[in-house]
Amino acid sequence: MSSLSEFHLLSVLAQEMNMRKAAERLFVSQPALSQRLQNIEKEWGAQLFLRSQKGLTLTPAGEYVISFVKEVLAKEEKVRESIQALNTEVHGTLKIAVASIVGQNWLPQVLKKFVNRYPHAKISLITGWSSEILKSLYEDQVHIGIIRGTPDWKGIKIHLFKDSLYLVDTEITKPEQVLETDRPFIQFKSDSNYYQEIQDWWHRQFQTVPKRTIVVDQIETCKQMTFNGIGYAILPAITLNGAEKNIFKIPLFDEHNKQIKRDTWLLGYESAFQLKQVQAFVDLVKEHIKETNRE
């Protein structure tokens, strides 16, 4: 059976699909890498990669072996994390999946404190929609997820903060003025529950649809277009840091005349919270929230 070092070699080959690039990453010569690959293939009794001038291609047998290799290496990493968790210092990789809005506007301050306090720990960060974050958690790709909205989650769930929604524009000072302007309503693609919340508010307020809309794929694009006077948008307070100039922010209210706010949660399985790097991050997050609330 191949050793872990050979599994790492196969993993790098599968990632690069190129002998030269793989050899550079592994700090070996191409002939030495080719010889080791031949020995591994002999051990498996099958050719794992097809070689050509364009690079490498996995054979059907290779696909099976690489799938097995990924499983073994993932388990190896978990074992190493568990061993490192026994030490007093914080080591290991902290794997986080975070909603893009939070990753761009709130998380950097927390991560800066984390890397300064725990220099031996590593960070793996994935950003995306909240539905994608939950998928990463369910598939055990990350230790913790930070999502927007109200999650249906059976594991550990820690509330981080609420932030209000605002109608934002360079000209509009009252919500009803959106019916008079010909400038577009700029929307960003988001999870369905967030989109639905905005739609519900709009229909309650106006009983009609916007005259014109522009849909962009990133909230930062939406924000910059709004700040440059192209149109108006509905943005969460987390994206508005107070530095914006000549911008009107009109709070949104629900049918009970309460300000509409979005929740942000930190989620994870109990087993992940036993890892020292996860415990350290969660403690630091709680500390950061207390400091922010005092300001």
Please tell me the distance from the alpha carbon of residue 86 to that of residue 224, in angstroms, as a whole number.
Answer: 47
Provide CB contacts within 8 A for 207, sequence distance 6+.
Answer: none
pLDDT for 216 beyond 70: yes
Mean pLDDT of 230-234: 94
The answer on 250 and 199 residing in a single domain is yes
The answer on 273 and 145 residing in a single domain is yes
Last residue of a domain, one of 61, 84, 107: 84
Mean pLDDT of 220-237: 92
Please tell me the distance from the alpha carbon of residue 168 to that of residue 12, in angstroms, as a whole number.
Answer: 48
The answer on 48 and 174 residing in a single domain is no
The answer on 213 and 245 residing in a single domain is yes
Lowest average pLDDT, out of 47-56, 262-271, 285-294, goes to 285-294
Lowest average pLDDT, out of 30-39, 155-164, 186-195, 249-258, goes to 186-195
Residue 87: predicted pLDDT = 65
Global pTM value? 0.68
The answer on 43 and 18 residing in a single domain is yes
The answer on 148 and 273 residing in a single domain is yes
Last residue of a domain, one of 25, 60, 84: 84
pLDDT tens digit string along 16-35?
999 999 999 999 999 999 99
The answer on 186 and 109 residing in a single domain is no
How far is CA 175 from each of CA 171, 249, 266, rounded to the nearest angstrom? 11, 10, 33
Lowest average pLDDT, out of 204-213, 242-251, 257-266, goes to 242-251
Q: Which residues face 21 on adjacent strands? A: none
The answer on 36 and 19 residing in a single domain is yes
Strands 185-188 and 144-148, how do they pair? Answer: unpaired
Provide CB contacts within 8 A for 16, sequence distance 6+.
Answer: 22, 25, 56
- The CATH number of the domain where 70 resides is what? 1.10.10.10
**110: containing domain:** 93-156+269-294
Mean pLDDT estimate for the chain: 89
- The CATH number of the domain where 255 resides is what? 3.40.190.290
pLDDT for 88 beyond 80: no
Last residue of a domain, one of 35, 52, 84: 84
The answer on 128 and 152 residing in a single domain is yes
The answer on 238 and 185 residing in a single domain is yes
Number of domains in the chain: 3
CB 233 within 8 A of CB 226: yes
Mean pLDDT of 169-192: 88
Provide CB contacts within 8 A for 7, sequence distance 6+.
Answer: 69, 72, 73
**3-state class (DSSP) for residue 217:** coil
The answer on 253 and 170 residing in a single domain is yes
The answer on 144 and 284 residing in a single domain is yes
Residue 1: predicted pLDDT = 47
